[in-house]
């Protein structure tokens, strides 16, 4: 089996052929599902742990200090130690809480983020589900997370949780509009919603360069809107520590709290991957159109590394936002969306449609 | 039984939603309980409950002699510990009609201003943290460490010094005192514009603080809101200008007054006060006269019978000490008029009609230190 | 039209202030300058405290195991909250006189407020502040210390 790190299509096709020859097609498909599910679970856990560590380190450097540096070399096992601590904590049962909804809520949040991650291309040929409505699917599925948040707040039977959940619900529902519309600009530019086709269309330049001004505006708007979608950064009043203790996950302890915590970081990862795929070229190296020599040099770096680098850059920008700005109040947040981001988005789409019609892009 | 003790005293209509921002809360800077009656996100009424850290300082002072009571006012408003102590010492010295050496007055004023800067630095970091900008906490503390190093070198402890005593000081200052202060001034003058770039000019911060919690000048005078909170509304109440003590009559500094009275005005008053304090330090640091570090006092101090009063300007407002003496070794009654007690109760008026996030911003801008409220 | 221009100006001004703030923190991320924290338990060997740090009250003994405490009890009288207890005993000097000598100088570290009155008012300068600041224990009785070491005696020529 050829293991070519530049193109995984051969590899996956060989595995598929091998499985189909060993067992009946139905079983082969089932085994493939199992393998992919396990790989994603592992990926989810490892990336989540790494992101928590990265956030603590980034935040510490910004604040003139060191961050975790004792548990393991350079502190890389710190998150594992925290996870073990959370696993051993007592799960405090709440009086008069709605038991079923209380237990289900963390799982809904995690399932929503799992489903979104399945549609993202990691490298050429390393793509779990390649829908022809890729972007539409991702947006639709990631908005299921808000159901989990609302259920968590409601079923905790606590005033703080309820206020936090209501605020968060309003926030997430409003900002989904902006997320969708800003992704729509690239859909109009590239003419397709299929994620692998969008990545392939960035083979000469990335869309953020090709689509000059409107694409940059759409990128900035997407960054702001997706920070708000994931309840992070200056939009984190749903879990504002200094105001309402912990908002919608006040009453959760131990492993259930770990789920919410992990889901927040994975949402950030997903949103960053989408930004990297759609605006910054996904796994496509940095090509500059007609300069084939330069492109050839850039091709030496494997696509997986390009993808990881771009996602890391966007994640770093999101962390930078969080540690610099004060929090927005709920009415200011909603003002920002409905009075500023939405009109900008609409005007942007009209401009993009006009540009595509006239062919005025690279 | 437990529910009856912690009774909610807001008797509202049925649709009121009463929330406790309880004694343990990350943003009330101490043990203070706010009972907030909400309608949606809007606050209808706020009632503060204090008294969780009442230690009976005034009663404890009645059994100590005049030299021994200095270890208690330190612990009231611990962020301006030196200024509190100075108030008690000035009152006792006034009653005994003792002339303290010139060196002592100079150094007391220098330490006052250092304490004021340290207290405002801590206020800035806590205010940023309450608003959500978590890095400001670390930047403020990093700069405050330089002042705490100065204190640790001369007195041995960082926050609560117990260095003042009626008649002067316990011992002389360290020889490296002046050099460290000059280094600190050069360092901090270069860091202070960073505070402006990070927080003051930030559009999010401005949206959350302009026109929020407006305190009119009449209300400030009626409720007795002094210090930077009162000066943000135009109430000219700086005791350093009205009744100068120490060396304040001989240094040049401005009293910062703003007229808007909102959160941003109080914020700007404190930042400008940091600049003014550095200006005072620059005028004083090179001119400390040589001399004794204390006047000669008797071993046991007995104040003549009568009533004695002294006011000083702490970092938060006007602190006044009133001693009633009947000729004994201990005061018959000592009363502290603490600035935070008067500043606290204006919150119920300021926060009506705003949202919970604004309550946090308003109480941060009033800069309350809870042990001073409860004494 | 004017309102549209104001709207755009507002947005651009807002973005510019946000970018200035981000530059400050970004600058610290790239070059943190001096790290303000210290790796505490590991740096005990290189830790230099200032002299005169108020760690706890000690009675300095010189190399002959002699201290300067006469047992007069002035520190006990001056302590505001009773953290010092002096226990004395009578002893015969070689000349045949009976003098008072310090037996135990009990110091309650858990009640001390570090006001330094005992050090200041001691007529023979017997007490001082020591630099030991790691005084946390699990057992509160360990915080009641006896300041004069066993077998020590007072220096000569102290009144």
* pLDDT for position A221: 92
Residues in chain C: 159
| Structure confidence at residue B2 as a pLDDT band (50, 70, 90) | very low
- φ, ψ of residue A126 to 5 degrees: the values are -105, 80
> What is the distance between the alpha carbons of residues B34 and B20, in angstroms, rounded to a whole number?
6
Element (H, E) at B89: helix B81-96
**Tens-place pLDDT, residues A8-54:** 777 777 777 887 787 787 888 888 888 888 988 888 888 888 898 99
Cβ–Cβ under 8 Å, residues A89 and A258? no
Residue labelled with tokens 């409905």: A338
3-class DSSP assignment, residue C92: strand
CB B135 within 8 A of CB A64: no
Q: What is the mean pLDDT of residues B350-364?
A: 85
Name the percent of chain B lying above pLDDT 90. 10
Q: Residue A92 — pLDDT band, cuts 50, 70, 90? A: confident
Give me the residue from C18, C25, C120 closest to B170, CB to CB: C120
Q: How far is B75 from chain A (nearest CA, A)?
A: 25
pLDDT tens digits for range B145-154: 888 988 888 8
| pLDDT higher than threshold 60 for residue B108 | yes
The beta-carbon neighbor of A340 closest among C11, C18, C25 is C11
pLDDT band with cut points at 50, 70 and 90 for residue B1? very low
> What confidence tens digit (pLDDT) does each residue in B36-76 have?
888 777 888 888 888 888 988 889 888 888 888 888 888 88
Residues in B touching A160 (Cβ below 8 Å): 19
Q: Which of B152, B170, B171 sits opposite C50 (nearest CB)?
A: B152
Q: What is the mean pLDDT of chain A?
A: 83
Residue pair A60/A67 in contact by the 8 Å Cβ criterion: yes
Owner of token pair 């002046």: B178
| Pairwise CB contact (< 8 Å): A326 & B202 | yes
- pLDDT of B253 > 80? The answer is yes
Residue A224 has pLDDT above 60, yes or no: yes
CA distances from B182 to B116, B188, B271, B285, C134 (A): 16, 10, 20, 8, 32
Mean pLDDT, range C29-36, rounded to an integer: 77
Helix (H) or strand (E) run with residue B360 in it: helix B356-366
**Nearest by Cα to B153 from B120, B122, B119, B183:** B183
Residue B213 contacts residue B266 (beta carbons within 8 Å): no
Query: Alpha-carbon distance B36 to B31, whole Å?
Result: 16
Residues 99-158 of B with CB under 8 A from C: 135, 138, 141-142, 145, 149, 152-153, 155-157
Strand partners, B322: B309, B335
Could you tell me if A154 and A91 are in contact, meaning their C-beta atoms sit under 8 angstroms apart?
A: no
Is it the case that residue B105 has pLDDT exceeding 80?
yes
Q: A63, B17: Cβ pair inside 8 Å?
A: no
- CATH for the B57-374 domain, from 1.10.645.10, 3.40.50.460, 1.10.3470.10, 3.90.1150.10: 1.10.645.10
Residue B8 scores a pLDDT above 60: no
pLDDT at B5 over 50: no
d(CA B217, CA B219): 5
Instruction: Please answer whether residues B214 and B260 qualify as being in contact, where contact means their C-beta atoms are separated by less than 8 angstroms.
Output: yes
Residue C22 contacts A where some CB pair is shorter than 8 Å? yes
At A314, is the pLDDT very low, low, confident or very high (cuts 50, 70, 90)? very high
Q: Is A340 on the interface with B (CB under 8 A)?
A: no
Chains that touch A (3 or more CB pairs under 8 A): B, C
Alpha carbon of A82: minimum distance to chain B alpha carbons (Å): 22
Q: What is the mean pLDDT of residues B209-214?
A: 87
Residue of chain A with shortest Cα separation from C23: A324
| Highest mean pLDDT out of B110-119, B346-355, C89-98 | B110-119
Q: Are β-strands B42-49 and B33-39 bridged in parallel, bridged antiparallel, or unpaired?
A: antiparallel
- Structure-model confidence comparison of residues B185 and A302, the more confident one: B185
Query: What are the residue boundaries of the structural domains of chain B, listed by start?
Result: 57-374
pLDDT value of position B322 = 92
CB contact under 8 A, C18 and A325: yes
Q: What is the ipTM of this complex?
A: 0.82
Alpha-carbon gap, residue B373 to B366, rounded angstroms: 13
pLDDT value at residue B19: 78
- Structure confidence by residue, pLDDT tens digits, A162-199: 777 887 888 888 898 889 899 988 888 888 888 888 88
Domain boundaries, chain A: 4-358
Phi, psi of C83 (to 5 degrees): -85, -5
Cα–Cα distance for residue pair C58/C73, rounded to 1 Å: 16
pTM for the predicted model, two decimal places? 0.87
User: In sequence order, which ranges of chain C are alpha helices (DSSP H)?
Assistant: 2-30, 74-78, 117-121
d(CA A227, CA A309): 19
Handedness of CA A319, A324, A326, A331 (dihedral sign): negative
Give the confidence band of A315 by pLDDT, cuts at 50, 70, 90. Answer: very high
Instruction: Quote the CA–CA distance of A40 and A32 in Å, as a whole number.
Output: 12
Which other chains touch chain C, taking contact as 3+ CB pairs less than 8 Å apart?
A: A, B
The model's confidence at residue B27, banded by pLDDT at 50, 70 and 90, is low
Using an 8 Å Cβ cutoff, are B345 and B248 in contact? Answer: no
- The angle, 0 to 180 degrees and rounded to 10, between the axes of the packed helices A159-190 and A134-142 is 170
| pLDDT per position as a tens digit, C102-158 | 788 888 888 888 888 888 888 888 888 888 888 888 988 888 888 877 766 676 665
Interface subset of A 306-325, CB within 8 angstroms of C: 320-321, 323-325
E strands, B77-205, in order = 164-165, 168-169
Least CB–CB distance from C36: residue in A65, A323, A340: A65
Average pLDDT over residues B20-49: 80
Nearest chain B residue to A160 by CA: give it. B19
pLDDT score for A68: 85
CB–CB contact A61 C25 (8 Å): no
Whole-number pLDDT of residue B4? 45
Structure tokens at C131: 């630099």
Measured CA to CA, the distance from residue B233 to residue B223 in angstroms comes to 13
């Amino acid at each position: 089996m050829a293991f070519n790190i530049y193109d995984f299509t051969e590899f996956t096709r060989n595995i598929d052929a091998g499985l189909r020859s060993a067992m009946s097609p139905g079983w082969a498909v089932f085994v493939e599902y199992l393998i992919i599910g396990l790989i994603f679970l592992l990926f989810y856990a490892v990336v989540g742990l790494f992101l928590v560590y990265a956030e603590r380190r980034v935040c510490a450097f910004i604040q003139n200090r060191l961050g975790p540096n004792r548990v393991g070399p350079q502190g890389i096992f710190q998150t594992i130690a925290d996870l073990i601590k959370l696993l051993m904590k007592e799960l405090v049962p709440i009086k008069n809480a709605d038991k079923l909804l209380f237990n289900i809520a963390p799982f809904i949040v995690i399932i929503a983020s799992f489903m979104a991650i399945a549609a993202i291309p990691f490298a050429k040929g390393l793509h779990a589900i390649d829908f022809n409505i890729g972007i539409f699917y991702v947006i639709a599925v990631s908005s299921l997370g808000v159901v989990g948040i609302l259920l968590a707040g409601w079923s905790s039977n606590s005033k703080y949780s309820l206020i936090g959940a209501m605020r968060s619900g309003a926030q997430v529902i409003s900002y989904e509009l902006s997320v969708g519309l800003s992704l729509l600009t690239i859909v109009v530019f590239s003419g397709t919603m299929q994620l692998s086709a969008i990545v392939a269309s960035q083979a000469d330049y990335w869309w953020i360069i090709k689509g000059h001004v409107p694409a940059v505006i759409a990128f900035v708007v997407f960054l702001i809107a997706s920070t708000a979608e994931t309840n992070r950064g200056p939009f984190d009043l749903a879990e504002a520590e200094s105001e309402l203790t912990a908002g919608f996950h006040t009453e959760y302890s131990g492993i259930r709290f770990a789920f919410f915590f992990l889901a927040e970081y994975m949402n950030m990862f997903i949103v960053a991957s989408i930004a990297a795929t759609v605006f910054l070229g996904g796994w496509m190296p940095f090509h500059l159109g007609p300069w084939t020599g330069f492109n050839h040099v850039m091709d030496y770096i494997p696509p997986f590394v390009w993808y990881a680098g771009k996602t890391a850059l966007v994640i770093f920008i999101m962390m930078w936002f969080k540690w610099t700005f004060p929090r927005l109040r709920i009415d200011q947040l909603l003002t920002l969306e409905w009075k500023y981001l939405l009109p900008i988005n609409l005007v942007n789409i009209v401009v993009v449609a006009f540009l595509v019609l006239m062919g005025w892009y690279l | 039984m437990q529910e009856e003790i912690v009774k909610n005293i807001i008797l509202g209509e049925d649709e009121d939603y009463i929330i406790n921002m309880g004694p343990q809360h990350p943003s009330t800077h101490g043990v203070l309980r706010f009972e907030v009656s909400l309608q949606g996100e809007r606050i209808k009424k706020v009632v503060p409950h204090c008294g969780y850290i009442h230690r009976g300082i005034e009663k404890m002072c009645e059994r100590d002699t005049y030299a021994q009571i200095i270890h208690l006012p330190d612990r009231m408003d611990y962020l301006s510990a030196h200024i509190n102590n100075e108030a008690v010492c000035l009152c006792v010295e006034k009653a005994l009609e003792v002339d303290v050496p010139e060196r002592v007055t100079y150094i007391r004023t220098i330490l006052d201003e250092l304490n004021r800067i340290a207290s405002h630095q801590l206020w800035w970091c806590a205010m940023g943290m309450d608003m959500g900008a978590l890095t400001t906490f670390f930047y403020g503390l990093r700069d405050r460490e330089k002042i705490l190093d100065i204190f640790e070198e001369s007195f041995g402890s960082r926050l609560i010094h117990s260095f003042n005593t009626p008649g002067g000081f316990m011992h002389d200052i360290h020889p490296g005192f002046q050099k460290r202060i000059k280094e600190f001034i050069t360092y901090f003058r270069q860091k202070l514009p960073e505070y402006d770039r990070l927080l003051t000019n930030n559009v999010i911060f401005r949206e959350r603080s302009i026109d929020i919690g407006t305190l009119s000048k009449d209300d400030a005078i009626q409720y007795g809101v002094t210090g930077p909170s009162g000066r943000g509304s135009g109430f000219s109440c700086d005791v350093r200008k009205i009744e100068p003590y120490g060396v304040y009559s001989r240094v040049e500094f401005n009293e910062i007054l703003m007229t808007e009275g909102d959160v941003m005005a109080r914020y700007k008053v404190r930042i400008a006060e940091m600049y003014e304090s550095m200006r005072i330090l620059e005028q004083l640091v090179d001119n400390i006269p040589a001399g004794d570090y204390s006047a000669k006092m008797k071993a046991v101090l007995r104040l003549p019978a009568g009533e004695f009063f002294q006011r000083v300007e702490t970092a938060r407002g006007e602190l006044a000490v009133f001693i009633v003496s009947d000729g004994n070794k201990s005061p018959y009654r000592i009363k502290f008029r603490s600035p935070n007690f008067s500043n606290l109760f204006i919150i119920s008026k300021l926060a009506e009609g705003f949202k919970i996030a604004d309550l946090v911003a308003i109480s941060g801008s009033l800069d309350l230190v809870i042990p001073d409220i409860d004494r | 039209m004017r309102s549209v221009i104001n709207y755009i100006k507002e947005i651009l001004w807002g973005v510019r202030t946000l970018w200035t703030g981000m530059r400050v923190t970004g600058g610290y991320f790239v070059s943190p300058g001096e790290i303000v924290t210290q790796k505490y338990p590991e740096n005990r060997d290189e830790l230099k405290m200032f002299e005169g740090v108020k760690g706890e009250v000690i009675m300095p003994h010189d190399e002959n195991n002699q201290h300067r405490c006469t047992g007069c009890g002035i520190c006990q009288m001056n302590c505001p909250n009773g953290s010092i207890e002096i226990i004395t005993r009578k002893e015969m000097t070689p000349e045949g006189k009976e003098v008072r000598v310090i037996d135990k100088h009990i110091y309650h570290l858990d009640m001390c407020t570090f006001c330094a009155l005992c050090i200041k008012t001691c007529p023979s300068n017997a007490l001082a502040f020591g630099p030991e600041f790691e005084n946390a224990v699990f057992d509160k009785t360990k915080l009641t210390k006896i300041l004069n070491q066993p077998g020590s005696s007072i220096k000569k020529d102290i009144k």
